[in-house]
């Protein structure tokens, strides 16, 4: 203490410097606290963004899976539609044959051999009901097949539209 009393001017200068440095240190401490709070807030934002990105990534994976399923369903429905088209074409051809068979005499229908068939027995009025019954059954079967084709086509179109929407 005696030394300080000997140099009172230096003591006052040192005390003043110490107070200034304490003030600067307190300002720096305040700055560091503010920066620390900002960094914590940024860290929380980053965590929130990461959570959002993970959720979006999961949604994207789900959507990709749904798209793959719909593409598979669409391919299946396209195959069904093609098959239905083939069946419909066969039914139409059968219907045309029935119509031609009903209109043309058996000897000139395009579906029989070009040679005239040899008649085991001559056609009489008695054989017409049998022919009529056969034609009725064929026509009935063809209409039934056509109805089934139409239902299949409607089903296919329904599922195709449903899978697209």
CA distance 102 to 52: 72
pTM of the model: 0.40
pLDDT tens-digit map of 32-86: 999 999 999 999 999 999 999 999 999 999 999 989 998 888 888 888 888 887 8
């Amino acid at each position: 203490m005696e030394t300080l009393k000997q140099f009172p001017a230096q003591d006052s200068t040192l005390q003043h410097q110490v107070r200034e440095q304490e003030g600067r240190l307190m300002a720096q401490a305040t700055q560091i606290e503010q920066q620390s709070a900002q960094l914590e807030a940024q860290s929380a934002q980053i965590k929130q963004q990461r959570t959002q990105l993970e959720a979006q990534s999961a949604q994207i994976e789900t959507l990709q899976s749904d798209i793959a399923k719909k593409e598979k369903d669409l391919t299946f429905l396209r195959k069904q539609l093609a098959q239905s088209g083939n069946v419909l074409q066969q039914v139409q051809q059968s219907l045309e044959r029935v119509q031609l068979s009903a209109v043309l005499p058996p000897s000139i229908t395009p579906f029989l051999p070009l040679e005239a068939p040899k008649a085991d027995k001559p056609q009489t009025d008695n054989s017409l009901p049998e022919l009529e019954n056969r034609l009725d059954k064929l026509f009935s079967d063809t209409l039934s097949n056509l109805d089934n084709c139409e239902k299949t086509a409607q089903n296919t179109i329904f599922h195709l539209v449903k899978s697209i929407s």
